[in-house]
Structure 1
Amino acid sequence: MRTMLRHCLLAEALGTAVLLVFGTGAAVVNEQTQALGHGGVAAAFGLVVLVLIQGLGHVSGAHVNPAVTVGFWAAGRFPGGRVLPYVAAQVVGAVVGSGLVRLLATPGSTLGATLPAHGAAQAFGVELFLSFWLMLVILRVTSSFYEQGLLVGLTISATVALEALVGGPLSGASMNPARSLAPALVSGHLEAFWVYLVAPVAGMLLAVVTDRLLELREPPQPPAA
């Protein structure tokens, strides 16, 4: 039986809040102490994604990302009537999470906001590719043929950590409009925010198209004699 919507929305709001608390919280802690380093922040994002998938995936799917929700809908694997409620829950959860991170931050902190390092055009390209690859991995490992329990969470979280490690210095490696919107709103750093809204959605829709091209099909059978 499909989980009731209110349970799913609570899981998505809670999960997205926790994503911000531990993910952007790691960035804020490193900003103050330099104890984690860039690699530590990337690892924190990967680890929290793994925990969320294993802890909440059976309730809501643990999307915790509006672009992922849109991607699953476009792939025909998520009901359209749940898209807007999921996105709303994710945004609310993200804002709550950023509000909690603000309690730890020093004045003037960006709260882990994603900002282009070398201009909006480069950041857009980086976010487009990172989001494309993340969604493609998600779609492939959650297909019925490949899905193998814990390995799904490990593969997705490793992808997030890898992309944060490599793409973080260039664009912030958001791949998630809610993850970027919340710290931007709470800290007041809304520069080039459109990049982090448009690029993740575009990249994940491109992944849906690519996933369909990669689908294995049986070769045509010769006509019976």
Structure 2
Amino acid sequence: MAGREDGGGGAGAMEEGRDAGRQPRYESSEDGGGGSDRCSGGNDMMSVQFMQKIIAEILGTYFMIFAGCGSVVVNLSTAGTVTFPGICAVWGLVVMVLVYSVGHISGAHFNPAVTVAFATCGRFPWKQVPSYAVAQVLGSTLASLTLRVVFGGATAREHFFGTAPSGSDAQAVALEFLISFYLMFVVSGVATDNRAIGELAGLAVGATVLLNVLFAGPITGASMNPARTLGPAIVAGRYRSIWVYVVGPVCGTVAGAWAYNLVRFTDKPLREITKSGSFLRSARING
């Protein structure tokens, strides 16, 4: 769900995968800045590079859901063999592995909420958001279909691997907001700030997912990701409280991204920052 722009050692891959120096790109790195209108010709919606990004998002989301939700199904169908801590570890590890695998291609979002959050900060082109979101939901749905086929029809009825609140919807949406905020705050730090330790980006994001699932899993399922919830829901036809897993993660990730923009370090004096029409924009571009 997160990575760095040029893989493990570069800067800002969660924003968008890129082939630095060989093709025009959307300026989204820490030293690039720029708004969503600075998208160059290299991001043509019909280009080979863009199609590669979409395929990477489909495959990445597919394997994330297949492994993560697969661990849930196996645990349910084998009387708890995997265990809850094991499920948490699977989610964290699969996210970490996939960040290092395709972060340099697509940015390794695997999450419509993350894509939207980057777009609101001007670090991802808005015109690519719908394509990314469709790819992510498609990957999740295909993975859910695969799990249903592999484990039989009983998966949809007895071994539901989607997410549903164990308490009230209000409690669930608040918790999803908080854990999504935390996830995106970490992602923004390791993916948009060149001073972060790039080689550890995947590890940091994977560990954050693991901690969130460990903490919030028993209450909400710790989705943090509309695609993670929508795929299993579509396959099983179970849409109870589905709005919780759209509103909570999207609002949480947007807030988390902007919160990091607020604390992003800048060595400019306050009087110079406030000359800008937007303090947040100035802090983002000049930090």
Q: Which residue of 1 aligns with 2:18?
A: none
Q: Which residue of 2 aligns with 1:118?
A: 167
Q: Which residue of 2 aligns with 1:220?
A: 269
Aligned runs of 1:1-225 on 2, under 5 Å?
Answer: 1=23, 2=25, 4-33=49-78, 34-106=80-152, 107=154, 108-220=157-269
Structure 1 Cα separation of the partners of residues 183 and 159 of structure 2: 25
Q: Report the CA distance between 1:104 and its aligned residue.
A: 3.1
Q: Report the CA distance between 1:195 and its aligned residue.
A: 0.2
- Alignment: residue pair count: 223
Q: Check whether the contact 1:67–1:201 (CA below 8 A) recurs between aligned residues.
A: yes
Q: Check whether the contact 1:109–1:187 (CA below 8 A) recurs between aligned residues.
A: no
The residue type paired with residue 68 of structure 2 is G
Q: Which runs of 4+ in 1 moved over 4 A?
A: none
Distance 1:191-1:59 versus aligned 2 partners, 3 A rule = same
Q: SS where residue 142 of structure 1 aligns?
A: helix
Q: Check whether the contact 1:110–1:187 (CA below 8 A) recurs between aligned residues.
A: no
Q: Report the CA distance between 1:59 and its aligned residue.
A: 0.5
Q: Report the CA distance between 1:105 and its aligned residue.
A: 3.0
Q: Normalized against structure 2, the TM-score is what?
A: 0.74
Structure 1 Cα separation of the partners of residues 266 and 126 of structure 2: 27
Q: Report the CA distance between 1:24 and its aligned residue.
A: 0.5
* Identical positions, percent: 40
* Residues 14-73 of structure 1: CA deviation (Å, up to 9, x unaligned): 111111100001000000111111111111110110111000101000100000101111
Q: Normalized against structure 1, the TM-score is what?
A: 0.94
Q: Report the CA distance between 1:113 and its aligned residue.
A: 0.6
Structure 1 Cα separation of the partners of residues 169 and 271 of structure 2: 53
The residue type paired with residue 13 of structure 1 is I
Q: Check whether the contact 1:101–1:111 (CA below 8 A) recurs between aligned residues.
A: no
In structure 2, runs of 5+ residues without a counterpart are 1-22, 26-42, 44-48, 273-287
In structure 1, runs of 5+ residues without a counterpart are none
Structure 2 Cα separation of the partners of residues 44 and 138 of structure 1: 19
* Residues 129-185 of structure 1: CA deviation (Å, up to 9, x unaligned): 000000010001113333333300000000000000110000000000000001011
Higher helix share: 1
The residue type paired with residue 135 of structure 1 is M
Structure 2 Cα separation of the partners of residues 221 and 203 of structure 1: 28
Structure 1 Cα separation of the partners of residues 96 and 188 of structure 2: 16
Q: Check whether the contact 1:117–1:170 (CA below 8 A) recurs between aligned residues.
A: yes
Q: Report the CA distance between 1:98 and its aligned residue.
A: 0.4
Q: Report the CA distance between 1:221 and its aligned residue.
A: 8.7
Name whichever of 127-136 and 203-212 sits farther off: 203-212
Structure 2 Cα separation of the partners of residues 146 and 167 of structure 1: 30
Structure 1 Cα separation of the partners of residues 52 and 123 of structure 2: 19
